[in-house]
Structure 1
């Protein structure tokens, strides 16, 4: 079992020392989704929401959140992002629609970008909720998860086996 590294000798939280880790190219892909009704789907896809273009605003929010992850997640290292991409995909589920949100983050550094990708999809989903809540507050966000990560030396690459309920 792996040792938890975010605790000091007193059992208190600390930021992990990464000064001896080599720089490598690192990527992470995360996914979230938001389940919404037909009315919201129609308004988003026809650009009829009163607050504006929902997906454009959610995309910018996701990128901004990715860039600011270390400001809101206490033990995350500030990193230099080399690239961030947010993409959207619609799925039909019974009488509802699911908006899948995927973020890819990339850096060249001594620590990974998993938290940045996860923060990006979370902020994008929350932005969709915020922009659509006047129509219906019953939207459901999630699941949110890491799809894959590459790079680094101490831990192997990761690829999630996605099941049907997560697609």
Structure 2
């Protein structure tokens, strides 16, 4: 396996995707923010002074996906055709589970955009809830699934958990 963002001299380099064919690319990512049950109840009941936590985090995640190339230096600016951010209140773990989805038809993948959306949604939840609790923990950020491109389909936990080759 070779790193695609390092040139022959070991310097960071943006991958040239101009010769790649356009395909439909999709990615789903996950993040979890754990909090005290009382804080989760405040989110659930819309009881925080800053307003609707999940609505704000959804918009922040969508904006983050659209701004990914401004945040991650070697990412390509992409014309995303779809970004979605969804939440599940997980009372048994006292957490909010975040799932993001990004899609486009293009020459490079959208994994980083999906990961950025989930991460920034979690950070936004932290920001919205920090007046109630500072001990929240953000973690378990990972790619759930991707499709399109040379490496094809990847799904976390499947037999082919580690796709080979080069791409994005």
TM-score > 0.5, shorter chain as reference: yes
Match of 1:131 among 119, 128, 132: 128
In structure 2, how many angstroms separate the alpha carbons of the residues matched to 1:5 and 1:31? 24
Shift of 1:142: 1.0
In structure 2, how many angstroms separate the alpha carbons of the residues matched to 1:91 and 1:135? 18
C-alpha contact (below 8 Å) 2:24/2:105 kept by paired residues: yes
Match of 1:158 among 124, 144, 154: 154
- TM-score calculated relative to the size of structure 1: 0.92
- Equivalent position of 2:140 in the other structure: 143
The 5 A counterparts of 1:12-161 are 12-93=11-92, 97-152=94-149, 154-161=150-157
In structure 2, how many angstroms separate the alpha carbons of the residues matched to 1:38 and 1:5? 43
Shift of 1:156: 2.5
1:7 aligns with 2:3: no
- TM-score calculated relative to the size of structure 2: 0.91
Question: Comparing 41-50 with 13-22, which one deviates more in the overlay?
Answer: 41-50
Segments of 5+ residues of structure 2 without an aligned counterpart are: 159-168
In structure 1, how many angstroms separate the alpha carbons of the residues matched to 2:87 and 2:18? 36
Residues 97-125 of structure 1, C-alpha deviations (whole Å, 9 max, x = no match): 11100000000000000000000000000
- Equivalent position of 2:166 in the other structure: none
Q: CA RMSD in A?
A: 1.1
C-alpha contact (below 8 Å) 2:37/2:91 kept by paired residues: no
Shift of 1:158: 0.2
